[in-house]
Amino acid sequence: MAATRKHMEELTQQAESGDAGGQYLTFMLAGEEYGVEILKVQEIKGWGTATPIPNTPDYVLGVLNLRGAVVPIIDLRKRFSLDSVPYGATTVVIVVKMSHEDQERTVGLVVDAVADVYRLESGEIQAPPDMGGAVHTEFVRGLATVEEKMVILLEVDCLIDFKNMHSSPSRSPDADKAQVEAIPEE
C-alpha cells in the first residue's frame, strides 16, 4: 500500500514537473511503436462506428457516445499522413485526456493495436531529431529505445486542433450568455 502510494506520488510529481519520465502505454501504427503517457489514458475500447462531423479534417472520424459524453475520434494514421488500412480485429480506440488552454477534453485515438506498457526514466528519453519538417515533429515528445526497438513518445495535447473555426454567432450556451449581456441594462 505504502509502496503504491509512493509510486503514485512519483508519477504525479513527474507529471507535474514536466519531466518526460514515467509510464507509457505503447501502441502500433504502421509498423512503428508509439507511446503516450499512461496518466493521460482514460480507457481503451473497441472500435465502433462514429458519427461523422461535416467540414472537419479527414483525420477526425467523427464523434462517439462514451457513456453519455460526445467524444471526437481521431484516426492517427490519417493524422500522421500514413496509408490507411481497413480496421481489423486489433483496431482499438485509446481514449485520452487532452489539456488545451485550461480545458480538459476527452478524445479517442484509433490505432492499429495496443502494444505494451513501459516505465521510462527521463534519462532514457532523447529529444526528437530535427527532420526538417518532413515529419510532424510537433507531436513528438521524444524518442526512447526499449529492447533495442525505437519507441516514439507522443505529445498528446497537440494531436488535435481545438480552435473554433468561425467567429459567427454560435449556439453554444456561453456565447448565448455573452450576447444577451450585450444588451445594455437599464
Partner 1 sequence: MSVDVNMAEIAQLFVEESLEGLDTMESGLLNLDLGAADPETMNAIFRAAHSIKGGGATFGFTEISEFAHHVETLLDEMRRGERPVTRDAVDLLLQSVDCIRDMTGSLATGSVDTARAKELEVQLETMLRQKPGVGAAACGSGHAAGEAAATTDEARVADEADEAGAGWRIRFRPGPGIFKSRNDPLRMFRELEALGALDVKAVGAEDLDFESLDPEECRLGWDLVLHASADRETVEEVFAWVADECELELEPIPGIAADDGPASEKPPAQAESLPAAAKPAAAAAKGTAFSQETGSIRVNIDKVDALINLVGELVITQSMLSRYTGDFDFTQIEGLREGLTQLSRNTRELQESVMAIRMLPISFAFSRFPRLVRDTGNALGKKVELKLTGENTELDKTVLEKIGDPLVHLVRNSLDHGLETPEERVAAGKPETGVLELNAYHEGGNIVIEVIDDGAGIDKGKVLAKARERGLVAADEQLSDDRVNNLIFMAGFSTAEEISDLSGRGVGMDVVRRNIADLGGHVSVQSECGVGSKFTIRLPLTLAILDGQLVRVGKESYIVSLVSIVETIQVCADKVNQIAGESELFKLRDEYLPILRLHELFGIQADSARIDDGLLVVAEANGQRVGIFVDDLKEQQQVVIKSLEANYRQMRGISGATILGDGTVALILDVPGLIQLYCDRNGGVPHHTAAVA
Residues interacting with partner 1, by CB under 8 A? 49-56, 60, 62-65, 68-72, 105-107, 160-166, 168-173, 175-177, 179-180, 182-186
DSSP bridge pairs for 154 = 140
- Shortest approach of partner 1 to residue 44 CB, angstroms? 17
Cβ-proximal residues to 164 (8 Å cutoff; 6+ apart), any chain: 170
Give the nearer residue to partner 1 in terms of CB position, either 3 or 180: 180
- Shortest approach of partner 1 to residue 114 CB, angstroms? 22
CB 51 within 8 A of CB 63: yes
- Shortest approach of partner 1 to residue 25 CB, angstroms? 20
- Shortest approach of partner 1 to residue 10 CB, angstroms? 30
Where helices occur in 38-186 by DSSP H, the ranges are: 76-79, 173-181
Q: How does DSSP classify residue 16?
A: H
- Integer Cα distance of 142 and 131 in angstroms: 13
- Shortest approach of partner 1 to residue 68 CB, angstroms? 7
Give the nearer residue to partner 1 in terms of CB position, either 16 or 174: 174
Give the nearer residue to partner 1 in terms of CB position, either 13 or 162: 162
- Integer Cα distance of 25 and 154 in angstroms: 10
Give the nearer residue to partner 1 in terms of CB position, either 108 or 142: 108
Indicate the burial class of 73 (C-beta count within 10 angstroms; 0-12, 13-18, 19 or more).
Answer: buried
Give the nearer residue to partner 1 in terms of CB position, either 5 or 67: 67
